[in-house]
Structure 1
Amino acid sequence: MQDLSRVNYVLTGKAVAFARGAQSAIDKQIVSGRQAVHFLGIDGDEQGDLRVHGGVEKAIHIYPSEHYKDWIKELGEREALNHVGAFGENISSVGITEKDICLGDKIRIGSALLEVSQGRMPCWKLNVRFEQKNMAKRLQDSLRTGWYFRVLQQGDIGQGDEIILCERPYPDWPLTKIMGLIFEGCLDEVQLLQLAQLPLVESWKKLVQRRMSDRQLENWSPRLDGPKDESR
């Protein structure tokens, strides 16, 4: 982590009607002043589908602002990329990316103490938001997904706060390494066993266990492609 890692912006959103009959709060907006952080996230923030979003393991989503220039280079000019919040992030950061952060890192932002819980598993709503039918898969394959924090100590955060590493119990496990094994379809028993020893969130733990027992990869089409658009 760089010494100057900091919060560019804090963003929150409300759940509203989205495409294909779904609800979403992906359209996050910048909020000014200091924002209260509780165990389920930032005060005033919502999620559209609580079955797969939000909760204590996905309380806050952070996305590195550095990635925006890469996406513009790859996708060209897109309306969604004209401002922060394109990926539904709660924190727009600078000075830290997925390769710099490790699973279980304890991070101080403002007066809140956070813990890195998992990388993001992108869903089909990004395809709609970017008007790019494979955007979710592109995000997943790039490993530029951002990541989630669980909240260990409630407090408040705000623009300009430093992102301070307090503890790193798993220095050999940056998120890019873990997401690479998950997203690129690792079936190697040794590597899967190593993953299984980590304090993964329950859903990732079960994924690793299924791979070890069934020797098969998951069908991610429902998550990446979503339901059919019945309006067409």
Structure 2
Amino acid sequence: MTDKVSIVIISHSPDVASGTAEMVRQMSGQSVPVAHVGGDFEGGLGTNVEAIHQALEEVYSDLGVLVLYDLGSAEMCAETAMELLDVEKQKHVVISNAALVEGAVLAGAVSAGGGSLEEVKSAAEQNTESYTNHKTPEDSWESVTICHEIGLHARPAVRFTEMAKGFDANIRIKLDVHKEWVDAKSIVRVIGLKARKGQVLNLQAEGNEAEEAIKNLISFVENNFDEDKKDLS
């Protein structure tokens, strides 16, 4: 039994389905169970209820399964496939109309961080209402320049938020080019910064471990998110 929320990706195109699933695995690691279904019975464009049902069974978790699809007919097939599951399992499967590729990547990131099914679904749909921008005093923060060639992309963003969650502190970050501070423990907000190489990341924290949190997060950024150059992709 997996300890992460699972993701099922459905597309009319086999290539889109497999490519999206691979992106999730690359960005979120192997801890998130991901299944993909693409094409009809003959391998052409279309959908396949039986294959979707098999995918749901393959990665099923009591923690939840998020289903993402590309077009309306795929949603209908997903609903039909869900009905083939045991009634108890159906309660733990949710279908989302989030954008397929972006939604899957965000969902995978939140799942990798231990998010609940509701949090994973919210991330996929970029429902950031529960994450409030913070206006804070402008006279006290630490800064670090992002040196990583790709910037603060999804994979290190997951690790960044996981590190932030490990400290007993409220941590906020923003780029120099932005006015609003965001929650450093929110994967949706961190990825949403779209922080690129050369940009300056500002960090603020308050709480019992505020100083330690800032020190460790800055070190993480300065060390290229602890990624070797061979890992850049």
Instruction: Judge same fold: TM > 0.5, yes or no.
Output: no
Q: Give the structure-2-normalised TM-score.
A: 0.27
**TM-score (structure 1 length as normaliser):** 0.27
Give the structure with the higher percent strand. Answer: 1
Higher helix share: 2
Larger radius of gyration: 2
Q: Specify which structure has the bigger relative contact order, considering alpha-carbon pairs within 8 angstroms and separated by 6 or more residues.
A: 1
